[in-house]
Amino acid sequence: MPPETATVLVVDDETAIREMYADMLERFVAEVKVAADGRMGLSLLDESVDVVLLDRRMPGQSGDEVLEEIRASGHDCRVAMLTAVEPDEDIATMPFDTYLTKPVTVGQLRAVVERLLTLDDYERALEERFRVAQKIGALEATKTDGELADSAAYANLRSRYRSLTEEMEAASQGVDTDLVRGTIETKPTTSERRTR
């Protein structure tokens, strides 16, 4: 999904930060929603929201609690924790997509939003490709080669599978970034560095 069609929800209790992020985002996304606390953020969250930028320390519901509610409610939006709280071991089980420590620049904010949207595209194509592959497999298991050759539905499925594969390959170029690699390719531990 291109950023210019995306909706981003900013949830932060600090007015100046909320307004600054909204101003930054309005330069490259379709719509920005802002919320001063977790309860308001959850009330603004609907199917139109593609990315949530969520502060951790807020009065009332913390960002951690809001994140849990977002995931429990089944919303499939991407969530970036955007906070002054340095990450600690407690993040190991938190269901966010990425973690950024304030302050961030316009460039960093844009890059994160673009990467999260690309990741969303990749996962959607992957899921649909899996479903199409299952249908192809079911037909191939029950039909003869001749029946498959005469089947328009089978030909359409094969064409869709190829198209989704191309979409995934294109999206993977945007997903394979330093941001994502940094969360997947972990740094070696002290003992691992010593043995090199």
Pair of tokens at residue 39: 């309860």
The domain locations on the chain are 3-104, 120-184
Name, in order, each residue with C-beta under 8 angstroms of 92's C-beta and a sequence gap of 6 or more: none
Q: Please report which confidence band the pLDDT of residue 186 belongs to, taking 50, 70 and 90 as the band edges.
A: very low
Q: What is the structure's pLDDT at 180?
A: 42
- 10 DSSP β-pair partners: 34, 53
- Residues contacting residue 27 through CB under 8 Å, at least 6 positions apart: 106, 110
Q: Nearest Cα to 50, choosing from 8, 99, 95?
A: 8
Token readout for 189 is 């531990």
Rounded to an integer, the average pLDDT of 27-41 is: 95
Q: Which run of H or E residues covers position 194?
A: helix 190-194
Select the CATH number that applies to the domain covering 3-104 from these four: 3.40.50.720, 3.40.50.2300, 2.60.40.10, 1.10.260.40: 3.40.50.2300
Q: Work out the average pLDDT over 35-48.
A: 95
